């Protein structure tokens, strides 16, 4: 298998003191709309850690905010929607490039700064966006989301159709501005059984991925061990695997023709350094079963993480087994 590249989720910058200093006193969504800050925050892990690609700094709800949804990111809570989705009248409007000129500008700046280092675009998948809109914020059981999905499948389909339009437009803006690849991030879809994923979610994610087929496409979710094959079938070139499923097992579930991304538990970076290195090598060993592998930390980097340990992880991956 070729050299395993390594990058971390867009949250990697949160562990760096430079990130905290840069964002001091600035709200999350405001920082996502400032090309200078997006550029600097995206570059920080590349400079400090030596990762092989940059993840575009953004948030799942940025495109929703751009089309007029009244929401904010509340510290310690996450995205909070002022008026949760309940009827067809609540459908957000479509997104156009004119809604997000700061995204185009930031991507173009980053491509110029990064040179040969790839930039990976980022967007939230329709199911996760729908969950935030319907629940009004983060949810542990997604009861309102599932109630709408099962109880009013026609309205559910309308909502996911619109969100797919918004997501693919958001990704298309990034690709057209120069992003080398894209990642469709479905944080909460692991709440569904496979049959319901195929019926209510997969067609909408597949439409998004098909619209950016001119670049490599990564599809990642959390707790999606039972959905891995179906997520790959949605059109991804690379299927993200969280730390709950060993990569060799994940490869068998996904089937041939796909690379995998994953999958060190983000909490392992708090273990002794020798344990961290051993666990990284375990991931690399399991990844030998894959047709291609990108090393990654599960669902992201915890803000309390020591950047020196992240650097150790990167160096260990680059050194190989």
The strand pair at 238-240 and 217-221 is best described as parallel
The reply to whether 93 belongs to the active site is no
Neighbouring CB atoms inside 10 A of 210's CB total 12
Is residue 5 assigned to a domain? no
pLDDT of 201 reads: 98
The 10s digit of each residue's pLDDT in 96-129 is 999 999 999 999 999 999 999 999 999 999 999 9
Distance CA 221, CA 139 (A): 16
The 10s digit of each residue's pLDDT in 217-269 is 999 999 999 999 999 999 999 999 999 999 999 999 999 999 999 999 999 99
pLDDT of 16 reads: 58
Distance CA 23, CA 279 (A): 32
Model confidence band, residue 14 (pLDDT cutoffs 50, 70, 90): low
DSSP H or E run through 22: helix 17-23
Q: How many domains does one find in the chain? A: 1
Rounded to two decimals, what is the model's pTM? 0.93
CATH of the domain at 159: 3.20.20.210
pLDDT of 23 reads: 55
Catalytic site residue from 19, 48, 59, 217: 59
pLDDT of 208 reads: 98
pLDDT of 2 reads: 45
Catalytic site residue from 14, 48, 162, 207: 14
Is residue 1 assigned to a domain? no
The residue-averaged pLDDT of 293-299 equals: 88
Is residue 253 assigned to a domain? yes
Catalytic site residue from 23, 34, 244, 253: 23
The reply to whether 36 belongs to the active site is no
pLDDT of 17 reads: 62
Distance CA 26, CA 247 (A): 38
pLDDT of 116 reads: 95
Is residue 278 assigned to a domain? yes
Is residue 245 assigned to a domain? yes
Whether 230 contacts 197, CB under 8 Å: yes
pLDDT at 39 over 70: yes
Is residue 3 assigned to a domain? no
The strand pair at 78-81 and 71-74 is best described as antiparallel
Using a pLDDT cut of 90, give the percent of the chain over it.
Answer: 86
Q: Average pLDDT over the chain, rounded to whole? A: 92
Catalytic site residue from 19, 48, 99, 132: 132
Six-digit token string for 51: 């990762």
Is residue 296 assigned to a domain? yes
The reply to whether 253 belongs to the active site is no
The reply to whether 48 belongs to the active site is no
Is residue 2 assigned to a domain? no
Domain that holds residue 130: 10-319
The 10s digit of each residue's pLDDT in 155-202 is 999 999 999 999 999 999 999 999 999 999 999 999 999 999 999 999
Distance CA 307, CA 15 (A): 6
Model confidence band, residue 19 (pLDDT cutoffs 50, 70, 90): low
The reply to whether 132 belongs to the active site is yes
DSSP H or E run through 266: none
């Amino acid at each position: 298998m070729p050299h395993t590249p390594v990058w971390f989720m867009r949250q990697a910058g949160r562990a760096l003191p430079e990130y905290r200093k840069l964002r001091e006193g600035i709200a999350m969504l405001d920082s996502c709309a400032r090309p200078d800050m997006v550029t600097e925050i995206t570059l920080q892990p590349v400079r400090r850690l030596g990762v092989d690609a940059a993840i575009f700094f953004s948030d799942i709800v940025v495109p929703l905010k751009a089309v007029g949804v009244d929401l904010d990111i509340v510290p310690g809570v996450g995205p909070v929607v002022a008026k949760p989705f309940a009827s067809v009248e609540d459908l957000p409007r479509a997104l156009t490039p004119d809604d997000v000129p700061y995204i185009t500008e930031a991507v173009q700046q980053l491509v110029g700064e990064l040179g040969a280092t790839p930039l990976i675009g980022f967007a939230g998948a329709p199911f996760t966006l729908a969950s935030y809109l319907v629940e009004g914020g983060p949810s542990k059981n997604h009861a309102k989301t599932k109630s709408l999905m099962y109880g009013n499948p026609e309205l559910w389909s309308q909502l996911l159709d619109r969100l797919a339009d918004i997501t693919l437009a958001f990704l298309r803006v990034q690709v057209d501005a120069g992003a080398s690849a894209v990642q469709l991030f479905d944080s909460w879809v692991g709440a569904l059984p496979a049959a319901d994923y195929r019926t209510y979610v997969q067609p909408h994610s597949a439409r998004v991925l098909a619209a950016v087929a001119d670049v490599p496409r990564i599809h990642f979710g959390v707790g999606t061990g039972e959905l891995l094959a179906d997520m790959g079938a949605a059109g991804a070139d690379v299927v993200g695997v969280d730390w709950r499923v060993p990569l060799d097992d994940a490869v068998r579930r996904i089937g041939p023709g796909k690379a995998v991304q994953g999958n060190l538990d983000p909490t392992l970076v708090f273990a002794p350094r020798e344990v961290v290195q051993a666990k990284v090598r375990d991931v690399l060993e399991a990844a030998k079963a894959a047709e291609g592998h990108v090393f990654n930390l599960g669902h992201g980097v915890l803000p309390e993480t020591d950047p020196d340990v992240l650097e150790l992880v990167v160096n260990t991956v680059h050194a190989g087994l």
